[in-house]
């Protein structure tokens, strides 16, 4: 008599699952959801619960298929209604993601935080914002770690406070317009002097004279309160005032001042340039080799002379982009790569970030 393979018919296999876990009253409860749907539900984009949950069942361990006991559900949630419990776990629970997904999320949030910091800060000497690459480098130097439970703006403000303690960087001033009745305009000017505001322009014509100036963001709230004494009001023109182009006409005598900052950083620039010359192939040599056979490096997305391809593959630039290629990240240019290698000692990649 031939043997037949008997398989269970009541078994439901959960594949491609995003697990949401909640600990309550010393017990662990889990629900099985569809990937990328949990965040949509929490952002109120997805309204249909059936599109989020794979089943209206509460587990104590989804991976092993162990269901939660009814008495534990009643003790922890006060009810045994599986749907209500699933909604509570969906809203308050912790989303379990894979290592690569978590790394991608943290990397994206790290970039968002750096962008916010760049928009809200300036170099106090040049009054211009730092580049995004430089901000990321400074954030690594203070060993900043992303907290996924906080918003990017909250973490950016904390980063700015730490950067101010260690590096020549400060908050970009607010550009505001103060307006007051003509009878109280003298009192307004006294208060502006007390706030150490930088006056940009004045307009004393009409019954409501105004003054445009730059102030520190931290004193905006106090300015609004104290302007009530002179029946004035404040209007924010720009949340981040940066210097653009060359020096203005009013500061023509100080033309040489903004040029002093690059002189101080000349050593670092020279060091980066020297590293680039050692670890990468110069554009001139590539131009001279146009008539020769070339090979494309898919990791760096450049054309390299066939004879120099071996040397290129040994360079730090190629090795760094090779690591980024394995992590699904786009290649960096020579300049960006050198700055990042200077930061990470030419050996670290995104997996080594101290998140």
State phi, psi for 342 to the nearest 5 degrees.
-60, -40
The owner of tokens 């989804």 is 62
The pTM assigned to this predicted structure is 0.48
Q: Which of 82-86, 140-144, 177-181 has the lowest mean pLDDT?
A: 177-181
Burial class (CB in 10 A: 0-12, 13-18, 19+), 326: exposed
Residue 12 has pLDDT above 70, yes or no: no
CA nearest 101: which of 46, 38, 169? Answer: 38
pLDDT mean over 309-315: 83
Higher-scoring residue by pLDDT: 4, 108: 108
Q: Quick check: 321 pLDDT over 80?
A: yes
pLDDT tens, residue by residue, 137-150: 889 988 988 888 78
Who wins on pLDDT, 164 or 278? 164
Per-residue CA distances from 302 to 281, 298, 315, 334 (Å): 10, 7, 14, 11
Q: What is the pLDDT of residue 342?
A: 66
Mean pLDDT along residues 33-55: 86
Kindly tell me the number of DSSP H helices and DSSP E strands found in the chain.
14, 13
Q: What are the φ/ψ torsions at residue 154 (nearest 5 degrees)? A: -60, -45
Mean pLDDT of 213-237: 79
**Model confidence at 253: pLDDT above 60:** no
Q: Determine the Cα–Cα distance for residues 20 and 123; give it in Å rounded to an integer.
A: 44
Q: Which two tokens mark 169?
A: 């960087």
Shortest CA distance to 14 belongs to which of 83, 59, 67, 62? 62
Which of 4-13, 77-86, 118-127, 194-203 is predicted most confidently? 77-86
Per-residue pLDDT at 13: 60
């Amino acid at each position: 008599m031939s043997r037949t393979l008997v398989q269970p018919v009541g078994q439901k296999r959960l594949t491609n699952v995003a697990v949401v876990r909640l600990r309550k009253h010393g017990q662990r409860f889990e629900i099985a959801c569809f990937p990328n749907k949990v965040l949509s539900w929490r952002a109120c984009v997805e309204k249909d619960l059936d599109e989020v949950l794979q089943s209206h069942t509460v587990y104590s361990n989804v991976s092993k298929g162990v269901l939660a006991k009814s008495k534990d559900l009643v003790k922890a949630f006060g009810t045994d209604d599986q749907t209500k419990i699933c909604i509570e776990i969906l809203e308050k629970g912790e989303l379990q993601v894979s290592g690569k997904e978590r790394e991608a999320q943290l990397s994206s949030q790290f970039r968002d935080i750096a962008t916010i910091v760049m928009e809200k800060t300036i170099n106090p000497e040049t009054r211009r914002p730092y580049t995004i690459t430089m901000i990321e480098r400074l954030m690594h130097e203070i060993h900043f770690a992303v907290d996924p439970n906080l918003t990017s703006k909250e973490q950016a403000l904390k980063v700015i406070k730490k950067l101010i303690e260690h590096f020549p960087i400060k908050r970009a001033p607010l550009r505001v317009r103060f307006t007051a009745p003509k009878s109280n305009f003298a009192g307004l000017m006294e208060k502006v002097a007390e706030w150490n505001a930088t006056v940009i322009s004045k307009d004393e014509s009409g019954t409501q004279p105004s003054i445009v100036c730059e102030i520190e963001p931290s004193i905006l709230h106090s300015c609004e309160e104290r302007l009530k004494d002179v029946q004035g009001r404040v209007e924010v023109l720009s949340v981040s005032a940066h210097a653009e182009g060359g020096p203005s006409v009013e500061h023509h005598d100080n033309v040489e001042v903004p040029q002093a900052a690059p002189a101080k950083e000349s050593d670092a620039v020279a060091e980066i340039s020297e590293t680039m010359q050692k670890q990468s192939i110069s554009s001139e040599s590539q131009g001279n080799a146009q008539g020769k056979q070339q090979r494309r490096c898919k990791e760096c997305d450049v054309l390299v002379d066939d004879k120099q391809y071996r040397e290129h593959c040994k360079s730090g630039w190629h090795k760094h982009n090779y690591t980024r290629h394995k992590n699904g990240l786009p290649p960096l240019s020579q300049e960006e790569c050198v700055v990042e290698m200077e930061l990470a000692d030419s050996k670290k990649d995104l997996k080594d970030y101290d998140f």
